[in-house]
Structure 1
Amino acid sequence: MPSTIVRNATILTMNDGLEIIEGAVGVRDGRIISVGPEPGGAWDQVIDAGGAYLLPGFIQTHIHLCQTLFRGFADDMPLLAWLKRCVWPMEAAHTPATLRASVRLASAELLLSGTTTVLTMETVHDTDVVFETLVETGLRAVVGKCMMDSDGEVPRRLRENTLASIDESLAIKKRWDGAENGRLRAAFAPRFAVSCSRELLE
């Protein structure tokens, strides 16, 4: 992984004193190693910020990367009607290709707006596709496979067996938690009480 120095920056440190300092930020092996006066040594990449502001990336704590392609449909509907008539049928219609496109688009929008980390609950299937795409995009993420096993109005493709849902989530955690030098994490993501049995939630 190349080392990078961003020099000539106005740094919003977000430290306890909320200091704003003029200086440089050095990154080696994907980790920030210095903030302040420019350290010596050779750097693979040198970026002159030209006095621009440099601050930590924003964190989005509630998002569904899988829903990016159908954002804006029926936003004026009550939550349950919106889920049952719009979101769940569209999630059920996802293919690996459309899911990959949705995650790529969401990642680009987030990164271009300064968001570098997300907590995302995805759809029921193809969570590996989400992780594989995040490997490419560079976004830091905690990803949960959606777990839902109890609502009869859920499209058939999204209905899960309780134990199978738990087993799949455990397998995803084993495959992906801590991947990409800790940039990607796996979480358990029961959708909500309306679509989850007591057994699943417990």
Structure 2
Amino acid sequence: MGAHSAAAALFTALLAFATLVSCNTEGDILYAQRQELKDINNVLASWDPTLVNPCTWVHVTCDNSNSVIRVDLGSAGLSGSLIPQLGGLSNLQYLNLHGNNLTGTIPQSFGNLTNLVRLELQKNSLSGTIPASLGNIKTLKFLRLNGNSLTGTLPLEVLSLVLVGNLTEIDCNYPGQTEDLRLRPRSGLIFSRMLENGSGK
């Protein structure tokens, strides 16, 4: 019985340690992203790397295991670029950075966010192409990229999520037009609406 209790205690300690390491890693990732951003409104003031985990930070939500599942920084007055390390937030379900002044490209590593349900990067100044790696996110339901300066075409890997995944809404635009694709809830058909002059919704 004593051996069983000791084993149980060891397992509990190892689990707690693993959770702590995970939290610290996620905190490091988010703090690294903070370092890449200009924060004129000081909305990231609570993102203190000396804290045990990022779950007490404003605009960050964690699950019961203290793992980051939501980052909500819409219209926060942020400028700068997105870092590839964000792809390491393996339990992230919601990433909202719309309405800022983000520049650069969407990292290929975002395809590693395999629990992501909602990605909102619309109304920034992002450029480059939409990563085909986003097609790896089978949980993705909402993908909003309109109001940027993206080029190229929507990757087939992403479009395939409508058929094999849960993706029900895609908003993206290219110079001179907006391609607005949605999955009709009842018929399961996709329709495409082209809007001139790059105007979004």
Give the structure-2-normalised TM-score: 0.30
Higher gyration radius (CA) = 1
More contact order relative to length (CA 8 Å, sep ≥ 6)? 1
Give the structure-1-normalised TM-score: 0.30
Higher helix share: 1
